[in-house]
Every structure is written in structure tokens, then in C-alpha cells.
Amino acid sequence: MSKSVGNVIDPQAVINGTKVTDGKVKQPAYGVDVMRWWAAQSGLDAQMRKNFRYLMGNLADFDVETDRVPYDNLLPQDKYMLHQLAQLCSEVTADYESFKYNHVLHCLETFSNSQISSFYSNITKDRLYCNPAEHPLRRACQTVQYELLSAMTCFLAPILPHLAEEVFQHPPFLPVENSIFKTSWYEADAQWSDAEVEAVISSAFCVRDRFNNLITTESPVQFHVIISAKPRLFEHLRVLQPELTSSSSALCEILQSSYVTLLSRLPVAVPDEANVVDGLCVHKDSDGSEVKDAFSLVVIPSEDYPCDRCRLHTARRRRELCERCSELMLDGWEK
């Protein structure tokens, strides 16, 4: 669709109609029902169904009463998602109050594509599928996904009521009140809005983007990333990885690499096969001001082999399991 060609459908025009300059009605007001029909047939319905199915599938064994992880025990990227959700909640609620239904749809579509699909679902696969059901980090991710599903169902209910009701009639929502239209409007918890968390994660995004630009089409999981960062950036990244080197830190999950080493200066010796690049992190500090911090990346192929189970390059021998997966199998994973 193109605005200049004139084949764009304006949701406000569908609901309220449009008038020409002499006051004659050019297009009648079709009302909200037709708007719903438009949303359902424009592809948003299919996209939301896909998202709901994904979230509900992951939450099949999650009981919010017993499995919810307290906010303080979530990883920074989990808290970041709740921070984003709190912003979405304010925006969508304000849009509904001022009848900006087209903007509601735009917000939900963007959030669903960029935050849920491209970011959060992408980085949390290992946590969800390779850890035991009761693992605290898996439950942490499910806690966030439960909030995402609850919020999206509520926000979409006025526009796609049948889809929202259908979702609400299935786990993880049962047993609760018998209709989503008898529950209260979704509200974000006040502590979710956290500028500190946003500052930390936006720093990690700078590093991730530089790393992804460098490796282009190769999978990040093949690499060990050594980050050398100036003090302020170093302190931000250290929140995500207190250890010097890790294969399981929050920073590893965001970068999707098999190993991350975090340093405050470049290593003295760099292997021949390493790619060394500089980067500049332009990010928000916790007080909201924009700051610039230089960093360098040394990217080397992981010295380890892909694990036959989780596919991280953290197995000491070819065609074997990594330490984490070996321990899980010995503990009786199948049970």
C-alpha cells in the first residue's frame, strides 16, 4: 500500500467516515464492527493467532499461582520486557481513551513483531526448551510470557473479541472468571518501569548489533566474544555477566554466543583467527541522558564443539553433550 498512490485504508475513515470540503459525505461511517472485520481480514488476526499459539504452547505447564517468579529474581532482559510492556500498557490505554483504534493496532502489531517475536522469543529458546521444567530461569521466562499473553489478550479484546475470548477460555487462564469481558482492564505493575534496566539492556544491544554486523550470515552460537569496554559501559555489562567468562550469563543469552568474556581493557594476546573491531555505544544512562562509550570486540570461533542436545558450541568433544546437558541427562531428564 502506498499513501501517494492513494490505496491506503485509514481505520479512522472506516469508523467515522470522511467528508469532502463542501460537506458532502464521501465515505459513510461504518463503525467499529467494520473496523473489527477489517482488522481480522488484514492479516493482524492471523499474526496475533500465531503469537497467542506460541505463548500458550510455552505456558502449557505454567500455573501462575505456584510457578510465578518474583520480580527481583528475574533476569535483566525479563525485566526489560516488563518495562516495555508497561510502556505499551500506558500507550494502548491512552489510545483507547481517546478512540485512536488505528494507533492501538499499530502499537500491538509493532510490539508483537519487534519485542515478542524478534527479540524475546528469539533469545529465550534455550532457557525454555533445554532446561528442566522447574528451572527458575525457565519459570522466569514463563512469568514474563504470562504477562505478555494476559496483556495482549486484554488489549485486543475490544477489537477482536472472539479471538480474545477463545484465548481466555484456555490454559493458562483456567480456572478463572468465565469471560474476559468480566475481568478488569490489564494494568502494569508500577515497579516494571525501570530506567536502570533499560539503560543496561540498551548497552548490551549496542554490543550485540556490532557483533551481528561483523559475523553477518554466520550463527552467533559459533563464537566466543571478548568484550573490552570503558568503565561506564563495563559496569552496565557487568550487571549481565558478573563472571569474567561465561557460557550461560544473561549477556550470553542476549548476544546468543556460546561464550562471552568481559574485560575492562583489550587482551594482550589476540589469536590469529580473531576478528577485532571497535564500536561506539550510544545509549541512555540511568538518568535518561545520552552517553557515548567506546568498546572493542575480539570475536573468535569457539574452541568447543556443538553440543548434540542444545547446539551451543560448548561441548569439549565432538558429537558429545556439553557439561550442562550431561548433568541434566544424568539427573533423569526424561522424568
Q: Per CB under 5 A, does 307 bind Zn ion?
A: yes
Q: Cα–Cα distances in Å, from 184 out to 187, 234, 309?
A: 9, 43, 43
Name which of 48 and 310 has its Cβ closer to Zn ion. Answer: 310
Q: Distance (Å, rounded) from C-alpha 241 to C-alpha 233?
A: 12
DSSP state of 234: H
Stretch of residues binding Zn ion (CB under 5 A), selected from 15-23, 148-156, 290-298, 324-332: 324-332
User: Nearest approach, Cβ of 261 to Zn ion (angstroms)?
Assistant: 20
Nearer to Zn ion, 187 or 327 (CB): 327
The C-alpha cell 488505528 sits at 102
The DSSP 8-state label assigned to residue 117 in this structure reads I
Query: For Zn ion, which is the closer residue by CB, 10 or 308?
Result: 308
Residue 290's SS3 state is strand
Q: CA-based angle 148:152:157, to the nearest 5?
A: 155
Nearer to Zn ion, 208 or 324 (CB): 324
Distance of closest approach, residue 322 Cβ to Zn ion, in angstroms: 4
Q: Measured at the alpha carbon of residue 254, what is the angle toward residues 173 and 215, in degrees to the nearest 5?
A: 135
- List 325, 328, 333, 334, residue binding Zn ion (CB under 5 A): 325
CA distance 333 to 335: 5
Residue of 68, 230, 284, 309 interacting with Zn ion (CB under 5 A): 309
Site size for Zn ion (CB under 5 A): 5
Contact stretch for Zn ion (CB under 5 A) within 38-46, 261-269, 286-294, 319-327 = 319-327
Show the site string, 248-287: x = touches Zn ion by CB under 5 A, - = not.
----------------------------------------
Contact 246, 325 (CB under 8 A): no
Of the candidates 186, 197, 214, the one whose C-alpha atom is nearest the C-alpha of residue 71 is 197
With contacts defined by CB under 5 A, name the span among 57-65, 91-99, 259-267, 317-325 that binds Zn ion: 317-325
Contacts of 324 (CB under 8 A, 6+ apart): 130, 248, 310, 314
Per-residue CA distances from 204 to 46, 180, 237 (Å): 32, 37, 7
Question: Shortest Cβ distance from residue 321 to Zn ion (Å)?
Answer: 5
DSSP H or E run through 246? strand 245-246
Of 265 and 316, the one with the shorter C-beta distance to Zn ion is: 316
Q: 142 in helix, strand or coil? A: helix
The reply on whether position 322 binds Zn ion by CB under 5 A is: yes
- What is the closest distance, in whole angstroms, from the C-beta atom of residue 137 to Zn ion in the complex? 15
Residue from 14, 160, 197, 310 in contact with Zn ion (CB under 5 A): 310
Nearer residue to Zn ion within complex by CB, 15 or 312: 312
Q: What residues numbered 38-67 form the site for Zn ion, per CB under 5 A?
A: none
Closer Cβ to Zn ion, 45 or 126, answer by number: 126
Binding residues for Zn ion, rule: CB under 5 A, are: 307, 309-310, 322, 325
